[in-house]
Amino acid sequence: MKMRRVVVPIQEAQTGMLLAEEVRNAAGGVLLTAGTELDEAVLAGLCRRGVECLVVDRPDPRSETEIAEELARMEARVRHLFHRHRGNPELQLLMQAVLEYRRKALA
């Protein structure tokens, strides 16, 4: 099955998930490398070290049509959120950053 990369809060992390990115502590030291499988001991350790979020790969059951529909809904919503600022270059930059982020996250 296709995988999808997501950031999850530690409360939603589950055993069996695979880390898509390394986990670092506040000082920047690597605690776990990408590819590590989460088990109970790993999760408890991360929690004790104050790690709040993880990047993991999750199975993605959506069809191509569903993905396309989701993308269209997302674009419409982002454009609505920014609709007061069509002529503002600064906020257009932010809107482009959000659109790019969402396209990557949804595709």
Partner 1 sequence: MSPALSRETVLSRIADLPALPAVVGDILGAIEDEAETVERLVGRINADPVLVARILGAANAAAQGGRQRIGSLMDAITLLGFDRVRQLVLMTALVRQFQPLAPGFDPTAFWRHSFAVAVCAGVLARETAFGEELAFNAGLLHDIGQLLIVVAFPREFEAVLARMEALDSDIAEAEREVLGLDHGQVGSILAGCWRLPEAFVEAIDGHHQPDATNYEAYSNIVHVAEVLSYALDIGTVPRSAVPALSERARAHLGLSWPDVAGRFGEIEARYRAACLDLGF
105 sits near partner 1 (criterion: CB under 8 A): yes
86's tokens:
């069509």
Binding flags for partner 1, 44-63, as an x/- string (CB under 8 A): x--xx-x-xx-x--------
Distance, in Å, from the CA atom of 88 to the CA atom of 82, rounded to the nearest integer, reads 10
28 sits near partner 1 (criterion: CB under 8 A): no
25 sits near partner 1 (criterion: CB under 8 A): no
For partner 1, the binding residues (CB under 8 A) are: 6-15, 38-40, 42-44, 47-48, 50, 52-53, 55, 77-78, 80-85, 88, 90-91, 93-95, 97-98, 100-101, 105
